[in-house]
Amino acid sequence: MEKLEKLFSKLENIFLILSQVALVIMMILTTFDAFSRYLFSNSIVGAYEVTEMYLMVALVFLSMSYVQKVDGHIRLDILFERFPKRVQAIVNSVFYVLAAGMMFFIGLKGLEMTINALQNNLVASGLINLPLWISYIWIPIGAFLIMVRLVIQVILLLIGREAHPVKEILIEEDDFE
Amino acid sequence: GDSDNANGKSETIKLKIADSLPTTNYLSSEGTVFFMERVEELTDGKVEFEHYPAEQIGKANSYLDLTLSKTIDIGYTSYSTDRLPLTEVATLPGAYSSAEEGSKIIWQLMKDYLTEEEYLKNGVRPLYAVALPQYQYVTAKKPIKSMKDIKGTKARVTGTMELGFDALGASPVFMPATEAYTAMERGTVDGVTFPFTSFEAYQIESIANYSTKGANLGSFTVVYSINEDVYKSLPEDVKEALAQAGDETVEHLSKFLDKKNEELAEKFASEIEIYELNDEESAEWDQALEPVWDRWAEDLEKRGFKAKETVQKYREIQESLQ
Amino acid sequence: MTVAIPLILLALFLAIGMPIAFALGISGSIGLLLFSGWDSFLGILSTAPYDSVKSFLLSAIPMFILMAAFMTVSGIMKDLFEAAYKWLGRLPGGLGIATIFAGAMMAAVSGSSQASAAAMSKAVAPQMRKFKYNTAFTMGVISMAGTLAVMIPPSIILILYGILTETGVGSLLIAGVVPGILTALGYIITIFIWVKLKPEIAPKIEIKPTLSERFASLKNVWPMLVIIIAVIGGIYSGIVTATEAGAMGAFITLVVVLLMGRMNMKKFGVALNDTIKSTTMIMTIIVGAHIFSYFLTMTQSTQKVVMMINELDISRYWILAIIILVYLILGFFMDQIAILILTLPLTFPIIMALGFNPVWFGIIITKTVEIGLVTPPVGMNVFVATGAAGVKTSEGFKGVTWFVIMDLLILLLLILLPFLTLWLPGMMIK
Ligand code: NA
Ligand code: NA
């Protein structure tokens, strides 16, 4: 099981890196679009749509699973933290099974949207035509990734292991000194 | 429709209708609400509507999907141009000069051609279509009196107007409508494209100083469509009521918008310097924007849509109505 | 009855610690299944996740967080707070006051509470922790400072209100200035009183820095000043819109810290990762909140409550009071944008019929839904602040109590004295 988890984490990391790339492109594209508009009275064609349709969707969906891995989807912990470890594990398993179910349907519908857009050659039309499947595809990838992550965590909990071995690490700038 | 009305007239049919328009918008109060009321009257209350306005159950571009999934029965499908692109023909620059004319053409085109060619293929049926008054170029600092003035300006645009402004040598800018006001105030853009009837919704009149009038820069088409399975399950008299209410809404809303457009142009004239193009100038601008039609059509043909046939039929109907 | 089940489920899920995004999404999904059936469930699950995320307006969230993350990993935020500590450290809750000032500054560039709270938390929380400020107090201050973003222009919520009700956006934005400043003052007063009563939550500076030491600390403040001036200047000169400001802010910050030699690949990676974690956490909650609010819409329960109010035959101030109460209650559970979209088409006509001023009502309602951002069980600003700082949510809710009381007092003041809101826009009408 741990081996499988390690393998899956590698896959998860690839998508996390894509998500980071989307973040950096978003910063650069939006800034340069504004500069170009101001200095040369010329908006970068497609900057707005690319940020909205591709970068935002990829940024969020591709990292959902990683955020789940490090227990980053926050919760109200007033009662939860008082539960004994065993109860926490049981409660978490129930949560994660339900969440995996919801993610399954989100992924399934996203997959349908992607295939439909691909088959029918759907685009957001304008000066350049932006294919819609590239916008939709991050939903099934992201939803199925977090679904698998949730299932792995449930199995880990059931066999008595930690579901979130890596907790969130926070930045303290002292780390760099 | 929750209730299949197979056995008896006493049972009411509930139809869920949803859109992204605030209820204060004319398109809602004089369009959607008018349509619902007419259907209820024509069916003697047999049909009842549940109206979800103002993005209450989805963003503007989700209403086709929500209609297809039967989450709702009737949706505002105007923004689904990815799957219903041919309807955009009426939004091209110079497509018509008044909302009444444009609405007559596009609604006839829907009945003759687009319902089969575009809507039923996507599982929905249009109930009414209304073309808005032509969009004008509204600016804050720079008066626009000729095509030369447009060159090099930054204009907040929507839809096919991106092609038009590009053809005129301006820079089309996309931004949420919510930001149009501030963007114009601070010079992020030189101007925005809106019909007079949409000014108040975004408070454009309080920030703009100049506007064109009589320019045919392009427009927008309001379309409401019903899920085809739901439509088929309706009794004949209800279908007839929907058809009649649809026709009446097209006429009522388009006439209302034209009248309102004139009234508002007069009203705004005290705060905004309005430059009215004469017929000659208007025709000259139309001609300069003519290439947009080919660009639009060729692009769609490449993707397998019958855009050229659509344009041809549009022109035929336009001629026949004159 | 079917309406009640998902509401109870939501409360239960949240109470026993289900991640908030899942709790909203799952109870909303169950509600859709029970109330509207399989078709609606699948329909909403296909449109809501995509539409909630595919938003240019919301791109402000990752961009502002990224800006703050760059400030934090490079240590320039630390320099700023060390200077603040030397100057304000002897005041009761000095760093808290500095945070409120920073929040007001942030508010002038950000139009979104969540973006502001997340950015502030990233940047400020480690500093206040370092100076041994109480965690609940720290989280309370940051969550509240974030709410200033919506009152002080630019403001996504006020613009949305303007569009939904066709009220002048220009007037609304200007009208937010005085209530925004009042709110900031109110928070500072709250900090003073709280720290006077419980000095241990905000340890006073031990030694007294000399004047030259104080001025020496200022020489490290310039990078922050450059960034702030550039971003505010960028917004007010029209180079960027309020949404784009975060991207430009992040970019300028990156350039400044690169030029100062305070950035390397490791720090850059940490900043990216941290931004993604906070952004995705917030956006997943927004997806869940949409699913839940679409379910609520389909039951038409919100609409029915407002209809009932409409039929009451009592004084207009009683109706106003009831409407505000309903907004406060909705604020416990729902996202502020969802609340406005769902209810304004119904409440606004009532308020107009009663003869109240639309700009004033906009400010009142904005203030009211802002309070909902920090109240449990669904308090987005607290989630965002604690999530970004890696602190328990309960600490955040503990920390906002006194501030919420102050906020209610300010709300009352704004209701009783409409000229506070209407004076400034009255002077600036074109
Ligand atoms: Na603000
Ligand atoms: Na709340």
- Closest C-alpha to B81, from B318, B307, B312, B313: B307
pLDDT digits 0-9 by tens, B269-278: 999 999 999 9
The Cβ-side half-sphere exposure at A104, using a 13 Å CA radius, reads 9
CB-CB: which of C72, C239, C275 is closest to A38? C239
d(CA C348, CA B54): 13
- Report yes or no: C362 and C158 within 8 Å, Cβ to Cβ: yes
pLDDT digits 0-9 by tens, C283-298: 998 899 889 889 988 8
- Phi/psi of residue C341, nearest 5 degrees: -60, -40
Residue A153 domain flag? yes
C390 touching chain B per CB within 8 A = no
User: How far is CA C121 from each of CA C72, C391, C396, C401, rounded to the nearest angstrom?
Assistant: 10, 10, 11, 18
| Strand partners for B193 | B137
CB burial of B311-321 (b: ≥16 within 10 Å; e: otherwise) equals: bebbeebbeee
- Report yes or no: C421 and C360 within 8 Å, Cβ to Cβ: yes
C54 touching chain A per CB within 8 A = yes
Q: Taking the CB of residue C342, how many other CB atoms lie within 10 A of it? A: 24
Residue A12 domain flag? yes
B142 touching chain A per CB within 8 A = no
Q: What is the count of structural domains for chain A?
A: 1
Reported pTM: 0.91
d(CA A140, CA B78): 26
Residue A174 domain flag? no
Which residue bears the tokens 């998902």? Answer: C6
Contact C55 A56 (CB under 8 A): yes
Contact C281 A72 (CB under 8 A): yes
Residue A160 domain flag? yes
d(CA C237, CA A121): 41
CB contacts, 8 Å: C296 with chain B: none
Residue A171 domain flag? no
* Secondary structure (3-state) at B273: strand
pLDDT per residue as tens, chain C (430 positions): 578 899 899 989 988 999 989 999 999 999 999 999 999 999 999 999 999 999 888 898 899 889 988 988 888 888 888 888 888 888 889 999 989 988 888 888 777 888 888 888 888 898 888 889 999 999 999 999 999 988 988 887 887 788 778 787 778 888 999 999 999 999 999 999 999 999 999 988 777 888 888 888 888 888 888 888 898 888 888 898 878 888 999 999 999 999 999 999 999 999 999 899 989 988 998 899 889 889 988 888 777 877 787 788 888 899 999 999 989 988 887 777 778 877 887 788 788 888 899 999 999 999 998 899 999 888 889 998 998 888 889 999 999 999 999 999 999 999 999 999 999 887 765 4
C136 touching chain A per CB within 8 A = no
* Secondary structure (3-state) at B75: strand
Residue A176 domain flag? no
Least distant ligand from the CA of C103:
1
Q: How far is the CA of C128 from the centre of ligand 2 (A)?
A: 25
Terminal-residue alpha carbon distance, chain B: 40
| ipTM at complex level | 0.92
CB-CB: which of A48, A117, A125 is closest to B174? A48
Q: How far is C232 from chain A (nearest CA, A)?
A: 14
Residue A76 domain flag? yes
* Secondary structure (3-state) at A152: helix
Residue A173 domain flag? no
What is the residue range of A86's domain?
Answer: 2-166
B166 touching chain A per CB within 8 A = yes
d(CA B28, CA B198): 12
- Report yes or no: A70 and A167 within 8 Å, Cβ to Cβ: yes
